[in-house]
Amino acid sequence: MNDRPLHATPQRVWFRRADGTGTAASWLTVTVDGVPVRVREGDSVAAAVLLAGNKVYRRTLVGNRPRNPFCWMGVCFDCLVEIDGVANRQGCLVAAREGMRICRQTGLPELEAMQEND
Amino acid sequence: MTEVIDVIVIGAGPAGMAAASWLQSRGVRTLVLEERPEPGGNVHAGALHGPFGASDLLGKEYAKGAAAAREFARGPVSVCHGCSIHRVDGNTVTFSQGGELRRVAAARLIVATGAMERPMPFPGWELPGVMGAGAFQLLMKQSGLVPGVDYVLAGTGPLLLLVACQLLALGSRPVAILDTNAASPFMAGARHAAAMAASPAAVWKGLGYLARIRRAGVRVIDKVVALAAEGSDSVETLRYWRRDGSMGALPAGLVLCNEGVIPNIHLTLALQCRHSWNEAQTCMAPVVDAHGETTRNGTFVAGDAAGILGAEAAPLSAMLAAAKIALDLGRITAEEADRETRAAQAALARQRRFRAFLDAAYRPGIAAVHPIADETLICRCEEVSAGALRQAVRDGALGPTQAKMFTRCGMGPCQGRICGSAMTRILSEATGESPGRIGNRNVRFPLKPLSLEELASGPDAEQADHEIIS
């Protein structure tokens, strides 16, 4: 894990795999803010970000408020995320692919570190 | 060159799949456009790659629907997955796929965009950790995830009960279920006894949910009239108030809320189809004829996008639309259309009667009945509160368009998809006009934000701006 981000953020568990759901799956690896995360084939990008254990999925541009995906069906746009260099994609509608580079849209890393260490 | 086919179907849920399969089997050239990587819609999401696609853990209906979606995926119908509709001009649909714009024209259009969860705004619903129970259910179906923290279910209706039962089946247990129903299922049952007698399987299913929850000993707190989620960077506590004036607070790292579903009308609004207020379902829906044709000639709506009837009814209304289109295009005779749709008509009528019971049995208390506190965010994108919208009305805003200009409500990336129904309610209450008179937000193309790069990649990008919409 050479590419761990400079700003280590607090972790948080949102969801866990239900018993037995991982056994027959094929797995792949994506990175979320440079940190490798193992996900199941069929997981969405938004699921990968939550499984990475980030405390905050994204921050709003209007009020700099924390948000998580809300609707999971492409309606609310609260799951906006950068995928392979393209910003503002709806993470709930995109399937995770091997090697995908996912970056949260949380504003400046320095600012985020300050906010999350409050 | 724009490719020209017979029918474009938008959405690969139960309605879209059924319409496309039926048309394709009769030689009608059909293309399905779907945002997700898999068919199945919301109700049968995760059919191909989800962990429960081939098991009964989430219930027999999901297993059956998932199997149908897998069969559809193997079948002959052309589907563009991972694409989103950019605009529709006349009979030409421009959509974005893989970062590029494509364009296809068709003689007929079937909108099968299904339902979305009814937004139920309450203070703090924008906090991370608060999400739709249906949204969570998608995560469960696609990824096999269950909550990793204490959680509460809040809302009313069959979907919330189903999610509770599915969670119990996976060995997960909510702290409590907060019931916000503003109606009485038992009184509704008495009034709709005949409809219930005609659909015994559906009745048993519902009673089965209730029995399962009772057997598991899950705490159910009923007559809840107000909610507030509290926490610093994410929800930590869910506060609730009951009709008798009592209140309480529950520890919750996740709040899964649902007060039923409403038609996903964003596309039909953009197409300027006429919509009307459905009082029984407390929502707007496109006006359609017996075949699902809208007031825009050649544009049909099938499934829940035309009014909520559920996943079992969706293929039936899809069949009626498909048969009418095949008849219009001269592929079948009137007698054939009649013969092929007779059974669907009867089954659909039965579904409608049972739905009337469900509509009467479950009334969305938070979304439609009890007062919305001024501090509640209505527009999550632009962070506009209910109080700001009420102030806009006092400042002279008469309808959604003016309220939007005064407050920016509905001007964020979701373009009013989430705040639209709550905005109609608040403006209706503040002006004294009926929701039908208040109407909907104006929706303009593009339907989703797209990059300049995508725009520039489009087929005759310049011409698109000058085309006259028929």
Residues 37-96 of A with CB under 8 A from B: 39-44, 47, 51, 55-57, 60, 62-63, 65-78, 80, 86, 88, 92-95
Using a pLDDT cut of 70, give the percent of chain B over it.
97
Residue A112's pLDDT is 56
Look at residue A67 and tell me if it is in a domain: yes
B137 with B88, same domain: the answer is no
Structure tokens belonging to residue B125:
């619903």
Closest CA relative to residue B459, chosen from B101, B105, B106, B104: B101
B133 with B247, same domain: the answer is yes
A interface test, pick of B117, B143, B258, B259 with most A CB neighbours within 10 Å: B143
Q: pLDDT by residue (tens digit) across B327-339? A: 999 999 999 999 9
pLDDT surpassing 60 at residue A103: yes
Average pLDDT on B256-272 reads 98
Look at residue B71 and tell me if it is in a domain: yes
Q: Between the CA of residue B102 and those of A21, B82, B451, what are the distances in Å?
A: 38, 13, 14
> Which residue range is the domain that position A47 belongs to?
24-116
Look at residue B350 and tell me if it is in a domain: no
Look at residue B322 and tell me if it is in a domain: yes
Q: For B142-289, list the strands marked E by DSSP.
A: 145-147, 151-155, 176-179, 220-221, 224-230, 237-242, 247-251, 254-258, 261-263, 275-278, 283-286
B131 with B248, same domain: the answer is yes
B22 with B52, same domain: the answer is yes
Residue with tokens 């995760």: B46
B47: closest CA of chain A, how far (Å): 10
Residues of B in contact with A62 (CB under 8 A): 381-383, 412
Q: Kindly report the CATH number assigned to the domain that includes residue B30.
A: 3.50.50.60
Cβ contact, residue pair B82, A94, below 8 Å:
yes
Cβ contact, residue pair B51, A25, below 8 Å:
yes
Residue A116's pLDDT is 57
Side chain identity, residue B14: P
Residues of A in contact with B50 (CB under 8 A): 42
A4: closest CA of chain B, how far (Å): 23
Average pLDDT on B294-298 reads 98
pLDDT surpassing 60 at residue A110: no
Q: pLDDT by residue (tens digit) across B30-71? A: 999 999 999 999 999 999 999 998 888 999 999 999 999 999
Contact assessment for residue A46 and residue A81, using Cβ atoms and an 8 Å cutoff: yes
pLDDT surpassing 80 at residue A35: yes
CA–CA distance, B453 with B86 (Å, rounded to integer): 14
Look at residue A93 and tell me if it is in a domain: yes
Closest CA relative to residue B143, chosen from A37, A70, A21, A19: A21
B111 with B143, same domain: the answer is no
Contact assessment for residue B434 and residue B57, using Cβ atoms and an 8 Å cutoff: no
Q: Which residue, of B237, B259, B281, is where some domain finishes?
A: B259
Residue B403's pLDDT is 96
Q: Kindly report the CATH number assigned to the domain that includes residue B425.
A: 1.10.10.1100
Q: Kindly report the CATH number assigned to the domain that includes residue A98.
A: 3.10.20.440
pLDDT surpassing 90 at residue B8: yes
Q: pLDDT by residue (tens digit) across B170-190? A: 999 999 999 999 999 889 989
pTM of the complete model: 0.94
A37: closest CA of chain B, how far (Å): 14
Domains held by chain B: number: 3
Q: How confident is the model at residue A54 (pLDDT cuts 50, 70, 90)?
A: confident
Look at residue A14 and tell me if it is in a domain: no
B88 with B192, same domain: the answer is no
Q: How confident is the model at residue B416 (pLDDT cuts 50, 70, 90)?
A: very high
Q: Of B131, B264, B449, which has the smallest distance from its Cβ to A70's Cβ?
A: B131
Look at residue B111 and tell me if it is in a domain: yes
Residue of A nearest to B447 (CA): A75
Residue A111's pLDDT is 60
Q: pLDDT by residue (tens digit) across A68-78? A: 999 999 999 99
Cβ contact, residue pair A75, B414, below 8 Å:
yes
- The gap between the terminal CA atoms of chain A, to the nearest Å, is 27
Q: Between the CA of residue B283 and those of B52, B117, B419, B422, what are the distances in Å?
A: 32, 11, 13, 10
Residue with tokens 């749709």: B341
Domains held by chain A: number: 1
Residue of A nearest to B234 (CA): A66
Q: Of A40, A63, A66, which has the smallest distance from its Cβ to B233's Cβ?
A: A66
Dihedral sign, Cα of residue B382, residue B386, residue B391, residue B393 = positive
B71 with B170, same domain: the answer is no
CA B237 centroid distance within chain:
28
Look at residue B222 and tell me if it is in a domain: yes
Cβ contact, residue pair A76, B414, below 8 Å:
yes
CA–CA distance, B392 with B399 (Å, rounded to integer): 10
A95-109, B347-361, B450-464, range with the lowest pLDDT: B450-464
3-class DSSP state of A14 = coil
Residue with tokens 């191909």: B48
Q: Does A100 touch chain B (CB under 8 A)?
A: no
The contacts found for B90-93 with CB under 8 angstroms, 24 or more apart, are B90/B467, B90/B468, B90/B469, B90/B470, B91/B298, B91/B470, B92/B2, B93/B8, B93/B10, B93/B33
B interface test, pick of A11, A15, A28 with most B CB neighbours within 10 Å: A15
B41 with B23, same domain: the answer is yes
3-class DSSP state of A30 = strand
Cβ contact, residue pair A73, B42, below 8 Å:
yes
Cβ contact, residue pair A57, B146, below 8 Å:
no
Q: Does A18 touch chain B (CB under 8 A)?
A: yes
Q: Of A42, A71, A86, which has the smallest distance from its Cβ to B143's Cβ?
A: A42
Look at residue B431 and tell me if it is in a domain: yes
- Residue A45 dihedral angles phi and psi, to the nearest 5°: -60, -40
Q: How confident is the model at residue A113 (pLDDT cuts 50, 70, 90)?
A: low
Q: Between the CA of residue A75 and those of A3, A15, B117, B307, what are the distances in Å?
A: 33, 22, 10, 18
pLDDT surpassing 70 at residue A108: no
B interface test, pick of A75, A86, A106 with most B CB neighbours within 10 Å: A75
pLDDT surpassing 70 at residue B88: yes
Residue B449's pLDDT is 83
B316 with B423, same domain: the answer is no
Cβ contact, residue pair A15, B131, below 8 Å:
no
B172 with B247, same domain: the answer is yes
pLDDT surpassing 70 at residue A5: no
Q: For B77-181, list the strands marked E by DSSP.
A: 78-80, 83-89, 92-97, 100-111, 115-117, 130-132, 145-147, 151-155, 176-179
Q: At what angle do helices B386-394 and B420-431 cross, to 10 degrees?
A: 40
- Residue B145 dihedral angles phi and psi, to the nearest 5°: -95, 145
Residue with tokens 């009420």: B390
Q: Of B46, B50, B381, which has the smallest distance from its Cβ to A77's Cβ?
A: B381
B92 with B183, same domain: the answer is no
Look at residue A19 and tell me if it is in a domain: no
Look at residue A86 and tell me if it is in a domain: yes
Average pLDDT on B439-465 reads 79
Contact assessment for residue B270 and residue B443, using Cβ atoms and an 8 Å cutoff: yes
Q: pLDDT by residue (tens digit) across B366-406? A: 999 999 999 999 999 999 999 999 999 999 999 999 999 99
Q: Does A10 touch chain B (CB under 8 A)?
A: no
Residues of B in contact with A12 (CB under 8 A): 234
CA–CA distance, A85 with B194 (Å, rounded to integer): 58
Residue A2's pLDDT is 39
Dihedral sign, Cα of residue B38, residue A59, residue B257, residue B209 = positive
Contacts of residue B353, defined as CB under 8 A and 6 or more positions apart, other chains included, come to: B192, B194, B195, B198, B199
Closest CA relative to residue B352, chosen from B206, B208, B192: B192
CA–CA distance, A15 with B139 (Å, rounded to integer): 10
pLDDT surpassing 60 at residue B467: no
> Which residue range is the domain that position B394 belongs to?
377-438
Look at residue A95 and tell me if it is in a domain: yes
Q: Does A108 touch chain B (CB under 8 A)?
A: no
A1: closest CA of chain B, how far (Å): 25
Q: Does A105 touch chain B (CB under 8 A)?
A: no
B196 with B139, same domain: the answer is yes
Using a pLDDT cut of 90, give the percent of chain B over it.
91
Look at residue A11 and tell me if it is in a domain: no
Residue B451's pLDDT is 80
